Amino acid sequence: MIIGEMMNIKKAKIKIFYYLLIGLLLSILSCISTVISIIKMLLVYASKGVFLSQQIKTLVSSIYYSTSPYLDWFWNYSPTPNLEHLKVYDNYIAVTIYLCIFIGFSFISSAFYLIKRIGRIKRKLEDQEIEDSLKGIKTPKPKLEEINIKDKSFFQQVHTLYIAPIVVGIILYFFGYFFSI
């Protein structure tokens, strides 16, 4: 479907279902993989004798044994970030998986936007019908399938979800740097 294309309510409901499905799957799986990557990274640095290393090893092993029957695939294939060498393959994969969380949230946000939009259209139709009945005007009730709405792609939310947080982060960084916070 072309971005900005007009679609009817039935197509919008199908799109909502797919947006929610893709968004939830992508977000949940990426969150699980990211959390496991962080836990694996903690274990690597605990092995090097970092502060509280024995407690971290105990915590990670208990988490592993309680979740490995269900999340074994994630434990085997989630990357282990390396903080000493930033330009390694596992770090790139970990960042990509982390970004997939936000892409999934974009899909979910687009689905909720369409849900709200359909709800507003239904309310307007009901209000128009009540208003016409009060005036005594007999107008044929439009079918929901005949009403077209404009599609809004999740890529149109780039400013809200990606650019604005980066700008705020940069401003806060410089604010903290200059005021020694």
Tell me the DSSP string of 50-63: -TTHHHHHHHHHHH
Whether 180 has a pLDDT exceeding 70, the answer reads no
Whether 156 has a pLDDT exceeding 70, the answer reads no
Same domain, 158 and 143: no
Is 8 part of a structural domain of the chain?
A: no
Is 4 part of a structural domain of the chain?
A: no
Same domain, 145 and 160: no
Same domain, 73 and 134: yes
Same domain, 23 and 97: yes
Same domain, 109 and 176: no
Cα atoms in the 13 Å half-sphere on the side-chain side of 16: 16
pLDDT digits (tens, 9 = 90+) for 95-122: 889 888 888 988 898 899 889 988 888 8
Q: What is the pLDDT of residue 1?
A: 45
The domain of 164 spans 152-181
Q: What is the pLDDT of residue 157?
A: 65
Is 156 part of a structural domain of the chain?
A: yes
Is 163 part of a structural domain of the chain?
A: yes
Q: What is the pLDDT of residue 145?
A: 67
Q: Around Cβ 36, how many Cβ atoms within 10 Å?
A: 22
Q: Quickly state the pLDDT bin for 174 (edges 50, 70, 90).
A: confident
Single pTM value for the model: 0.74
What's the rounded Cα separation, in Å, for the pair 97 and 77? 12
